[in-house]
Structure 1
Amino acid sequence: MAGIAILGGGVTVADGRVAGHDAGATLVRRLQRLYPGASLIGPRAQRADGFDVVPLELVDPRTTVVINMDVVDSPTVWRTLAASGAEPRIANFVWWNTSQFTHPVQRASLALSCALFPTFANSYRTATEVREIVFSLTVPQLAERVRIDWANLGIRLDHVQPREDPAIPVVLYPAIRLSERKQPQLFLDVVERVHRRTPIRVEMRLQESHLISEKAISLSRKDWAWVGPVTATREDYYYRLARTTAFLATARDESYGLEYVEAMVAGAVGVFPDRPWARALLPDGYPFLYADAVQAEELLVRAVTDPRGCRAELDRLAGGDFVGWLRGRHDDTEFEDRFAAAIRRWFREG
């Protein structure tokens, strides 16, 4: 198998390591664990802790497979690498929600890239969306050759810490951005009403650029809310999750939902909108799905006033062990095995 180089994810390198704890940085580190020593493609060459940062122009396509997380750029990446005279080997990694591409040029570029290059998606839902986009926006000669595989991202189960319920129930905003797709105003409206009915503490951990938003500043002024930066380490992140009572998901759409799975495995009760992306994560009959803000309020009140009863109900729904049900379906080992198998299949040598 050729060497691996990883492109995209919006990551930076600091102190010799991939910096940050957002989804992009987390997935790049996961790929580095899967492919020890894999290069990271960046603006300038440097030696990091166990890997090299290499400009795209210096990548040797004869000895390297490029895993591109900036999928729409794959045709441009191909042109750069093909200048050497060798045939580039590029695999797309769709790790985000395709609904973010709303402009016709963006969606057509995504379709063309996924038609031309083998594509691995972060869930069955995302893979289905990619296939639909390719077949609707490219010619049949390309669409019929599409190569798509997928696996649920899953989580690292060894990070989960022992459960410890707080004296005052903690409600988590389960995202690090206040983007419109996440519908943060709905979250704020519901937790405000829940707080009027029962004591809660709201926690919101955001990327730095979102900490200075009007919504974040307004919430931080309330004595029952804490708004701060994303936790510095994965250990601290899971420590806080083990002390989270419930979370209220408000996103219109998700490609997978990694943060929600992590919180539920840690024992938090998840209140979700009744949408296909949420049902894809959960067992049939999941009781904490809401159709509107009024129902979301009632379910969240129940989650924070009787979390043990809610967890017991989920255990019964899942045949005795809801967290075990999640662990069995969202273990990152399956993702890594299927991802590696797809790369070997697509770029088999000899």
Structure 2
Amino acid sequence: MITKVAIKHDAALVDGSGHVVGHDAGSTLVRRLLRVFPGSELIGPGPRRCAGFDLIPLEFVDPVTTVVISMDVLDSVDVWRTLRPAGAEPRLMNFLWWPTTTYPHPVEQAALALSCALFPTFANSERTANEAREVVSRWTVQPLAEKARLAWVNLGFRLEHVRPRHEPPVPLVLYPAIYVSERKQPRLFLEVVERVRERTPIRVEARLHESHLVSELAMRMSSREWMWVGPLTATRDGYWDALSRTTAFLATATEESYGLEYVEALAAGAVGIFPDLPWAHALLPSGYPLFYRSPAEAEEQLYRAVTDPVGCWRDIDASAGGSLARWLRDQHSDDLFEKAITDRVHEWFGVGVAV
């Protein structure tokens, strides 16, 4: 009988007190899975007893009693081969939480396709699931593609994290990413906020992963006296407190598999300006009013957001049937994610999984 879950994400780090550290998406999702599946294990250097979970090497996983949820989807075949010599059929599922375009090389695309065809795959959004189906269809043979098992749900956020609003004396614009990689288009963000800053007073904040704080572009951004560039907030509470005083954010990414930070910022009351791209439309009500097709449109929309946030929210709420907050609760609730992923683990591997 399957009795436990083991989570594999090689980039996850555990501190001396036994907690998963980091504010990047991967670390956040590992913590969420550990919460969703109490008593689960985290695959990594060990063995070691941690805060509410065990850290164990992959070779120590018992394939008879354990379902492995792999966030390192390209490695899943190797995980299966490591567990198979134990004699039992390994129970392995993928958790696909990044865009399929993250790994564009044909070898990587073929590896991704094979993994998603061979093992049940749970995606972090409908968009990601559809992309995975296309990759499987393109890069694998028909008998494998026909047997692929794919499911999805929006990641969602925990409603109780939202803080009361605290409007800043000077409008605050957020760079809504922790990296300044090309996919996020930080240069476009900087170009637009500079133009808006020439028209009206604003402050800008960018909270970046430590690996990107020392980049040339981060240094360039921090040289503006009205722009603060610094490390990620130390705690989740600090993160939500910062969002509660954010007036607006400008999304500039070319691709997202989901977009959790955007959803959380909207829930916190920040006006969101989005590129007119499929990933952004997938997050929002069909009539959402603030999509831009050019830098000039982004400038005008951001200018309006910081000079008339009340009017922007009137239009945003109208697009969601009267309340975007209510729409977000219905479409992006963490409760939906928890139920969907536990239901799929039960469906794919049996009702004996402990949750």
Q: TM-score range by the shorter chain?
A: over 0.9
**Map of 2:32 onto structure 1:** 30
- Alignment of 1:154 with 2:178, yes or no, is no
Query: C-alpha distance in 1, partners of 2:304/2:130?
Result: 35
Deviates more, 1:42-51 or 1:266-275: 42-51
2:156·2:332 contact (CA, 8 Å) conserved in 1?
A: yes
Query: C-alpha distance in 1, partners of 2:319/2:22?
Result: 36
Gaps of 5+ in 2: none
Match of 1:53 among 52, 55, 72: 55
Match of 2:216 among 214, 217, 222: 214
- Alignment of 1:40 with 2:45, yes or no, is no
- C-alpha deviations, 1:61-87, integer Å up to 9, x for none? 011100000001000000000011111
Query: C-alpha distance in 2, partners of 1:166/1:139?
Result: 56
Deviates more, 1:6-15 or 1:187-196: 6-15
2:288·2:320 contact (CA, 8 Å) conserved in 1?
A: no
Query: C-alpha distance in 2, partners of 1:60/1:332?
Result: 29
Query: C-alpha distance in 2, partners of 1:225/1:332?
Result: 32
Query: C-alpha distance in 1, partners of 2:101/2:203?
Result: 32
Deviates more, 1:316-325 or 1:124-133: 316-325
1:8·1:69 contact (CA, 8 Å) conserved in 2?
A: yes
Residue identity in the other structure for 1:263: A
- C-alpha deviations, 1:203-261, integer Å up to 9, x for none? 00000010001111111121101000111111000000000000000000111110000
1:202·1:226 contact (CA, 8 Å) conserved in 2?
A: yes
1:6·1:28 contact (CA, 8 Å) conserved in 2?
A: yes
1:303·1:310 contact (CA, 8 Å) conserved in 2?
A: yes
Match of 1:106 among 108, 112, 127: 108
Q: CA deviation at 1:43?
A: 2.2
Q: For 1:270-349, what aligned pairs fall within 5 Å after superposition?
A: 270-348=272-350
Q: For 1:24-173, what aligned pairs fall within 5 Å after superposition?
A: 24-173=26-175
- C-alpha deviations, 1:278-329, integer Å up to 9, x for none? 0111111211100010100000000000111111121222222111111211
1:125·1:255 contact (CA, 8 Å) conserved in 2?
A: yes
2:176·2:261 contact (CA, 8 Å) conserved in 1?
A: yes
SS of the counterpart of 1:172? strand
Residue identity in the other structure for 2:252: T
Deviates more, 1:215-224 or 1:102-111: 215-224
Query: C-alpha distance in 2, partners of 1:316/1:150?
Result: 28
Query: C-alpha distance in 2, partners of 1:120/1:142?
Result: 17
RMSD: 1.0
1:9·1:28 contact (CA, 8 Å) conserved in 2?
A: no
- Alignment of 1:241 with 2:243, yes or no, is yes
- Tell me how many residue pairs correspond in the alignment: 350
**Map of 2:12 onto structure 1:** 11
1:271·1:299 contact (CA, 8 Å) conserved in 2?
A: yes
SS of the counterpart of 2:156? coil
Residue identity in the other structure for 1:222: R
Residue identity in the other structure for 2:45: P
Query: C-alpha distance in 2, partners of 1:251/1:312?
Result: 26
TM-score, structure 2 as length reference: 0.97
SS of the counterpart of 1:91? strand
2:42·2:55 contact (CA, 8 Å) conserved in 1?
A: yes
Query: C-alpha distance in 2, partners of 1:131/1:300?
Result: 36
Query: C-alpha distance in 2, partners of 1:50/1:164?
Result: 35
Query: C-alpha distance in 2, partners of 1:74/1:112?
Result: 9
**Map of 2:229 onto structure 1:** 227
**Map of 2:264 onto structure 1:** 262
**Map of 2:255 onto structure 1:** 253
SS of the counterpart of 1:339? helix
Q: Percent identity?
A: 61
Do the aligned partners of residues 244 and 349 (structure 1) sit closer, same or farther apart at CA in structure 2, a change above 3 Å counting?
closer
Query: C-alpha distance in 1, partners of 2:131/2:66?
Result: 29
SS of the counterpart of 2:86? coil
Query: Runs of 4 or more off by more than 6 Å in structure 1?
Result: none
1:272·1:278 contact (CA, 8 Å) conserved in 2?
A: yes
Residue identity in the other structure for 1:11: A
